[in-house]
Chain A
Amino acid sequence: MIEIRLFASLREGREKVYKLEEAFSNGEEILDYFQIKSEDVAIFLINGMHSNLKNPIKDEDVIAIFPPIGGG
């Protein structure tokens, strides 16, 4: 099971958290599953670490996906 957390505008039309039994090999597959365009993703975390969409994902991983955001 992997946990996928969506934030900000990525929550529109979607839930905040998904716990899925499906196997995803990497971020690209997750984006595909949720119909999220890669240009709408600014930060992709695997277990809190910045990752790219090709980094491998394994069982029990926690994924967090953010669109472009700000700071202060």
Chain B
Amino acid sequence: MNDLDQLREFRAEIPYPERPRLSPGRSRLLAATRRPQRRRFTATRRNTLLLTATAAAAAVALAAGLAGYGPSTGNAPAGHPKALPSRPKAVPSQGVLAARVLRDASAAASRVPPKTTPSPGQWIYSKLVGYEHGQGTSSSENWITFDGTQSAYYESSGSPITVHTSPVAPPANIKSDPLAAFNTDATPQTAYYALASLPTAPGQLLAALDKVTEAAGGANLVAGNPVAGQTPKNKGQLEFDYLSLLLWNAAGGVGAPPNAEAAAFRAMAAIPGVTIQQGITDAAGNPAIGVSDDGGYDQLLLDPVSYQVTGLRQLSNGIGPKMAAPSPQQLAKFPKAMQQQILRKLKSPAGPPKGTVIQSLAYAQVSEVSGPGVK
């Protein structure tokens, strides 16, 4: 037996992969083939899903009230780290993989050419798909202006479009203190300026987040995340949750300046404990990568090809989502059909088995349009 023969036997035990092992890769490829033109998620949050810290309870309840479908998850949902089998040390660790994904996301964001900041009255159309365990999916179409002062939606199918003008002016400190403005009112504009205001160096960016979350009451601030079921348990989780909230709100608007998004992903990669889950599907049925800092329970979803933020989802910890009841005023902000769902959900908050997808939100489409009703 010569040296090449011996080499051919080296690690020859390693088998050809079974089909399920290759499926996620094939799905990613197919997703890429079906999207010949990468569109940028440039537009926004919808009026009924204003994710402000002050409307946290309502937002959580709204998300809970969104009915859903069963998103097909390519892989088993990630469980808590303690429940996962120990990974061999030789392969890239979750942290390394997560860092790589976020580094790629950062690179992808930095490749997007910068565009002009929209005018405050620029209309943005978005179609949001929501899923809730046991309820199925529902989708809603919404229009909002960049500054959030006007919004529009259909009360029900066939009804005339309702245009709402907010009695509250946009935060006055939107340029002088964008993070505080975002904390006051999460609009496409405040998310845009908040991300743009952050330092680009990861350490400095996270320090800036620490400062603002501490000033604004820490964990209470990120309760505005519509699908976050877990209270942050440490500084890293708080940083991750707050950054996710900024990115999610920006994704529902016109995004953020590309260099700011790139910096946000770089900083996210620097947060300890960040993990990813690949081969999953968002609520709109598109392939996604889930990024998490609590062992996979609360995830920010990225498009696996473009790395744009497309969704959020929450997996069950086996106990059930904690939901705060909205006040009657908060409840009144939502369409009547959603109000009923929210109330039903509050009555029976039983938790599905650990690892089950219990809530998922995704933008199926976001675009800048000429006015309400225009897609």
Say whether A and B bind each other. Answer: no
